[in-house]
Amino acid sequence: MEPIELLILGELTLRRNGTALKAPQGKAAAILLALAPAGDAVPVRELLKVIATASGPPSDNAVRQHVGTLRGSEVPIVAGPRGKGTYSLDFARCRVDALEFVAGVEAEEPVDALLALWRGPVDEAMFRSKTWAPVRKARTRLLQRIERLPEAERASLTELARFAALFPDDPEVHPVRPSGRGSKPLLLVVEDNPDIMREICEQLSTYYRLLPVTGLREWRTLLAERPESLDGVQGALVDLHLTSTLDDQRGLHVLKYLRQKTDILAALVTANAMESSDYRNQERKAEFRLVAIVNKKESDWWNALEIAAQLLVGEGDAERRHRLETRLETAYRFFRREHQNNDAGRQLERCKDDYATVIGLVKVGPLERATAEVARFCKAWPSFEIR
């Protein structure tokens, strides 16, 4: 006879030869859900815990009765030696998806195939119970493996979003959650110095997912072969110089692309002394839609880098207003530039008046209204240079 399939990573399902069998209900189901993932004998005292009620734990006889019900449903359960007080599944006569998951994680099978084994949510109390410990440990290992994947490879996982949605409030899943509440924000980091790149990743990886690009050549390869890698990027940290030439300023090419082709805001990282003046900083910020310029020559530049990252993705009132102001300033700058040499005097005056109104809202007005007004301004006064 073909082994029975016990599918517990989701709604309890029993099958034989592809045909669904009647699944147990109530406390019999609870006992099966405790036995199946253990992979070994389970003491009766543990089974009593999963069928206990508010009035207290049931008797050992109740466990025997529910085991009898399961055997009547063709579930192969064997009792331990007399006096041991244990039960286990006859694993030679059944297949358990949770145990396949544990074994697959150990064997480092394809991530998507492992995630696909989870068909639906699992009762939280059951998942945290003692007999589910092997499954919890395997899930932790798999999540750690996913977190170590290159961002592009992680983005290609077709099952990850569905799997993460099964655990909406689980902080252990948050670091790999593709989007939504609790997920780590995704930052693009473009830096050609391997030592500095490594330090940046070490500094920021606790709070952010990072898409590292180690120089101009890799940036061009990414655009040519993996442009979808930029999907979901919420901000960018871009080094000014991306070749061995000290004054190449190729980072500006990256910033220009981000401004023209994406909605991604950026921060410029530089050791160029010319970037130190306030006037130069403001010009750069408006030109390239920058929330900040981080000067590597400053003694506290690591702290400034963390502040820049927070400005890019932080959800506080100050960070959100800062990003709105950045978008507004860049839009205003480019519209004026593109129309200053033609017969558009009245249009420029209207744009200027509109800007004055919107910047006032961004500074002190209701945040949601300011957000809507900045979006309206960018659409009303468009530029070929800005997405």
What is the per-residue pLDDT for 179? Answer: 66
pLDDT of 250 reads: 80
Cβ-contact 249, 241 below 8 angstroms: yes
Q: Is the pLDDT of residue 277 over 80?
A: no
What is the token pair recorded at 12? 């309890």
Task: Classify residue 89 by its DSSP letter.
Answer: E
Whether 210 contacts 204, CB under 8 Å: yes
* Strands (E) located in 22-83: 42-43, 77-79
Least confident range from 31-35, 174-178, 310-314: namely 174-178
Q: Cα separation of 163 and 145, whole Å?
A: 15
- What average pLDDT does the segment 52-76 reach? 83
Across 188-197, b (16+ Cβ under 10 Å) vs e yields: bbbbbbeeeb
Of the pLDDT bands very low, low, confident and very high (cuts 50, 70, 90), residue 145 is: very high
Residue 246 has pLDDT above 60, yes or no: no
- What phi and psi values does residue 17 have, to the nearest 5 degrees? 55, 35
pTM of the complete model beyond 0.75: no
pLDDT in tens, 34-48: 999 998 998 988 888
Amino acid at position 62, single letter: A
Rank 269-278, 303-312, 344-353 by mean pLDDT and report only the highest: 303-312
Task: State mean pLDDT over 315-338.
Answer: 93
The proportion of the chain whose per-residue pLDDT surpasses 70, expressed as a percent, equals: 94
Mean pLDDT, residues 2-27: 92
Q: Which residue is it, tokens 């945040």?
A: 367
Residue type, 115: L
The Cα–Cα gap between 239 and 217 comes to: 14
Angle at the Cα of 269 from the Cα atoms of 382 and 329, rounded to 5 degrees: 25
CA gap 381, 348 in Å, rounded = 10
Over residues 258-267, the pLDDT tens digits come to 999 999 999 9
Q: Which pLDDT score is estimated for 259?
A: 94
Coil vs helix vs strand at 16: strand
- In sequence order, the 6+-apart residues with CB closer than 8 A to the CB of 317 are 367
- Phi then psi for 7, rounded to 5 degrees? -105, 110
Beta strands 4-7; 94-96: pairing state: parallel
Q: Given a cut of 70, is residue 56 above it in pLDDT?
A: no
Nearest to 322 by CA among 280, 374, 278: 374
Residue at token pair 């480019």: 334
What's residue 248's pLDDT?
Answer: 62
CA angle 46, 50, 54 (to 5 degrees): 120
How many whole angstroms separate alpha carbon 383 and alpha carbon 333? Answer: 9
**pLDDT for the residue numbered 55:** 62
Q: Provide the pLDDT for residue 273.
A: 54
pLDDT higher than 60, residue 78? yes
Most confident of 94-98, 213-217, 239-243: 94-98
pLDDT exceeds cutoff 60 at 384: yes
